[in-house]
Structure 1
Amino acid sequence: MTISDLRQRGLILFEAISGSRAYGTHLPHSDTDLKGVFILPETEFYGLDYVPQVANETNDEVFYELRRFVELLLKNNPTVLELLGTPPDCVISRHPLFAAFRAEDFLSKLCRQSFAEYAVAQIRKARGLNKKINHPEPPTRKSVLDFCYVTVGAGAQPVQLWLAHHGYSIAQCGLANVPHLTDLYALFVEDKKAPHGYRGLVRDPETSQDVLLSAVPKGQEPVAYLSFNRNGYSTYCRVFREYHEWVKKRNAERYENTVQHGKNYDAKNMLHVFRLLQMAEEIALTGQLHVRRPNRDFLLQIRRGEFEYETLVEQAEALVMRVEAAFAASNLPEAPDKQAAEQLLIRMRQDWYSAASR
Structure 2
Amino acid sequence: MLTLNDLHRQNLILLEAVSGSRAYGLATPESDTDIKGVFYLPRSLYYGLGYIPQISNETNDIVYYELGRFVELLLQSNPNTLELLASPTDCVRHRSPLMDAFKPAWFVSQACRQSFAGYALGQIKKARGLNKKIVNPMPSEKKTVLDFCHIVQGAGTVALQTWLDANGLTQRHAGLVNVPHARNLFALFYDADGSRGYHGIMQKNSANNLALSSIPAGEKPLAYLSFNQDGYSSYCREYASYQTWQAERNETRYRNTAAHGQGYDAKNMMHTFRLLETARDIAQYGEIRVRRDNRDELLAIKNGAFGYDALLARAEALMAEIEALFDQNPCGLPEQPDRMQAETALVSVRGQLYGV
Partner of 1:259: 258
Give the Cα separation in 2 of the matches to 1:85 and 1:95: 14
Partner of 1:171: 172
Is the partner of 1:156 in helix, strand or coil?
Answer: strand
Partner of 1:10: 11
Matches within 5 A, 1:139-288: 139-192=140-193, 195-204=195-204, 206-288=205-287
**8 Å Cα contact 1:261-1:305 kept in structure 2:** yes
Which amino acid is the alignment partner of residue 282 of structure 1?
D
**8 Å Cα contact 1:42-1:353 kept in structure 2:** yes
For residues 146-182 of structure 1, the C-alpha deviation after alignment (integer angstroms, 9 at most, x for no partner) is: 1101111221111111111112222321111111111
Q: How far off its partner does 1:353 sit?
A: 2.5
**8 Å Cα contact 2:190-2:222 kept in structure 1:** yes
Which amino acid is the alignment partner of residue 209 of structure 1?
N
Q: How far off its partner does 1:44 sit?
A: 2.1
**8 Å Cα contact 1:129-1:266 kept in structure 2:** yes
Which amino acid is the alignment partner of residue 112 of structure 2?
C
Q: How far off its partner does 1:58 sit?
A: 1.7
Which amino acid is the alignment partner of residue 87 of structure 1?
P
Range that drifts further, 64-73 or 322-331 = 322-331
Is the partner of 1:37 in helix, strand or coil?
Answer: strand
**8 Å Cα contact 1:187-1:226 kept in structure 2:** yes
**8 Å Cα contact 2:19-2:35 kept in structure 1:** yes
Range that drifts further, 103-112 or 164-173 = 164-173
**8 Å Cα contact 2:145-2:209 kept in structure 1:** yes
Please, what is the CA RMSD of the aligned residues?
Answer: 1.3
Give the Cα separation in 2 of the matches to 1:171 and 1:303: 53
Give the Cα separation in 2 of the matches to 1:260 and 1:141: 28
Give the Cα separation in 2 of the matches to 1:129 and 1:243: 9
Is the partner of 1:149 in helix, strand or coil?
Answer: strand
Range that drifts further, 97-106 or 14-23 = 97-106
Give the Cα separation in 2 of the matches to 1:155 and 1:99: 73
**8 Å Cα contact 2:16-2:37 kept in structure 1:** yes
Which amino acid is the alignment partner of residue 266 of structure 1?
D
**8 Å Cα contact 2:172-2:202 kept in structure 1:** no
Give the Cα separation in 1 of the matches to 2:132 and 2:6: 45
Is 1:296 matched up with 2:295?
yes
CA change 1:100–1:150 in 2 (3 A) is same
Give the Cα separation in 1 of the matches to 2:197 and 2:67: 73
For residues 181-212 of structure 1, the C-alpha deviation after alignment (integer angstroms, 9 at most, x for no partner) is: 111000112354x94222211112x2222111
**8 Å Cα contact 2:185-2:225 kept in structure 1:** yes
Is the partner of 2:300 in helix, strand or coil?
Answer: helix
Which amino acid is the alignment partner of residue 61 of structure 2?
D
Matches within 5 A, 1:66-85: 66-85=67-86
For residues 10-44 of structure 1, the C-alpha deviation after alignment (integer angstroms, 9 at most, x for no partner) is: 11111000000000001011000000001112332
| Identical pairs, percent | 52
Partner of 1:306: 305
Is the partner of 1:51 in helix, strand or coil?
Answer: coil
Matches within 5 A, 1:2-81: 2-81=3-82
Give the Cα separation in 2 of the matches to 1:44 and 1:108: 33
Partner of 1:133: 134
Give the Cα separation in 2 of the matches to 1:279 and 1:256: 28
Q: How far off its partner does 1:80 sit?
A: 0.3
Give the Cα separation in 1 of the matches to 2:244 and 2:57: 26
Give the Cα separation in 1 of the matches to 2:318 and 2:199: 59
Which amino acid is the alignment partner of residue 299 of structure 2?
L
Is the partner of 1:131 in helix, strand or coil?
Answer: helix
Range that drifts further, 96-105 or 25-34 = 96-105
Give the Cα separation in 2 of the matches to 1:173 and 1:55: 59
Give the Cα separation in 2 of the matches to 1:171 and 1:42: 71
Which amino acid is the alignment partner of residue 26 of structure 1?
A
Give the Cα separation in 2 of the matches to 1:269 and 1:233: 31
Is the partner of 2:99 in helix, strand or coil?
Answer: helix
Which amino acid is the alignment partner of residue 94 of structure 2?
S
Which amino acid is the alignment partner of residue 211 of structure 2?
L
Which amino acid is the alignment partner of residue 272 of structure 1?
H
Give the Cα separation in 2 of the matches to 1:191 and 1:107: 75
Q: How far off its partner does 1:3 sit?
A: 1.4
Is the partner of 2:278 in helix, strand or coil?
Answer: helix
Which consecutive unaligned segments of at least 5 residues does structure 2 have?
none
**8 Å Cα contact 1:2-1:56 kept in structure 2:** no
Partner of 1:98: 99
For residues 214-272 of structure 1, the C-alpha deviation after alignment (integer angstroms, 9 at most, x for no partner) is: 11111111121001100001111111111111001000000001111111110110011
Which amino acid is the alignment partner of residue 219 of structure 1?
G
Range that drifts further, 37-46 or 68-77 = 37-46
